[in-house]
Structure 1
Amino acid sequence: MEESRKEYLVKGYIEGTATTSEREELLSWYRAEGNEARLSPYQSESEENEAKKRIFNNIQQQVKATGPSKSLTLSRLAIAASVIVIVCLAIFWSTNKGNSAVELATVTTKAGERKIIELTDGSKIWLSAKSSLIYPVAFNGRTREVTFTGEAFFDIAKDKKHPFIVHTANTSTRVLGTSFNIRSFTEHEDVVIALFTGKVSFAGDKKDVTLLPNNQIVYNKKTNLTKVLPIPDVSAILGRHNGYYEYKNVPAKEVVEDITRLYNLQVKVQGGVKDCTFFGRIKPGESPEKFLKKMAFVVNAKMTQKDSVWTIKGGGCNLK
């Protein structure tokens, strides 16, 4: 692979703009260079995790210091490639001496598509629309690690000896056996983890947080701030992975964004109606167009269609 191509792929991965195929290309190159057999040099898992954080924070500062017009040097390119594997995708390392290389699988969903993935350890993942999951075909190390973007519901099989870790954005969620929902879309500032059973340990850029059932973590990728809040509606979030979508006091623009992704529609929201809050639900099999018309009526807006694009426009929130 040409050095310019390597540099492009590494920068894209660090900045979060790389596509799924570009991430796989980068990691294929890394494995081809003979790095996948590398062993962890740390004496304990906690020591290793601390080192990962420290290295990752250092490389982030270096990348910011270069400015948008400068490129990475080859030496920093090598460091960045190592950080990508060590921090973001630790599943590519052999975490136990003598382990063979990890074979990976990638599952992605398009707009309007959902998939259910069953892992070899018995864990089950409901992948929502426009999401991606990278996972080992078989777990054979000290941990069970996957990398994820989008939205998914995780039902993780219990295994006290092998923690399950979900890497997404610049965060990791660590569990032993539990059920939780993660929303982490590239275009969104917030990563949201809602916990239903068990306990999870969440690691952001600044601090680690332990989450208990019926609570959620909201992590802002720009400010690196983490908040722990009660889940506003447990049943509504639980229902999503079964195709049942309910909204309570949710801004119209967020509802439309959800429906657009889930049903592969082209919908625009214009005017003050964007911030009008909506209460309603869409059941499996219900027409999304009918649901949007109902929402437009409730928030005192009009819905029109031109070609394949729907537009919801209005300035008021309540009927008079």
Structure 2
Amino acid sequence: MDKEKLDDEFEKLWNEAPSSHSDEIKEASWEEFHSKTFGAQKRKFKPWRYYAAASVLLFILVGTGIYLNRTQETENVILASNVIENTTTKIKHVVLPDNSEVALSPKSKISYGNNFALNRKIEVTGEAYFQVKKDKQHPFQVFCKETTTTVLGTCFTVKESQEKEVTVELFEGSVQMNVKGQDQKWILKPGQKFTYGNQTASVAEFNRFVDFDNQKLTAVGAYIEENYDYKVTIPEEYSNQKITVRINKKEDLKTIVELISEMYNLNFEINEDLKQITFR
């Protein structure tokens, strides 16, 4: 059997992996296996089909096939050349070298190495919300205490409590959770949270949405002011308008503003310097 036929046979067997493994996972693992086994040999590329959920960011989970058959790297090997700490009382927004974004809560900090774009490992102390830039070749790993969150691109919060518990809440996509010294892995879906403390891990549901059921439009304005720290001005004639809407608690601010604008045929202006939103 020549190399091309052998290649096709290996790929055929690879596709018979458990159905619980997504097409994206199969592709990433097959690419890794193929590169290690056949080196620079050329082969036909067969893209995997998948459906993408309509959300702010998309996620592709890394870790199956060869990857899941070896022990997940949970050692926090980070050369902390860059340390960013939020000493203010408001959320601090940070853009990382790979263009991923972090909303860093007060009294929290992150640290990462100078080669972050190629080695995307970051350590969190306190609480941080991540919007990860998708990069299939460079998995994004967040270390907090003994836990490791591995992703390629998604939206999630990592929080360390005063009781030394670590909680990861997933808003979009999927993430794989690992605990140092343990072989078990936990795969989270949107709306699930992973908690680890006192050598015990658990997965539970949480409410990732806020609902406005036939409430005044000004209630949404108040929500924006409280959670995004922007002053909202709504025309007086719209102050008693009612709205029914469900908003992801970590939704992009501009998405919410555009939604209100379209629903009520209003124009808007966002003043970043004054942190003010004006509807007209």
Give TM-score, length-normalised by structure 1: 0.42
Higher relative contact order (CA 8 A, sep 6+): 2
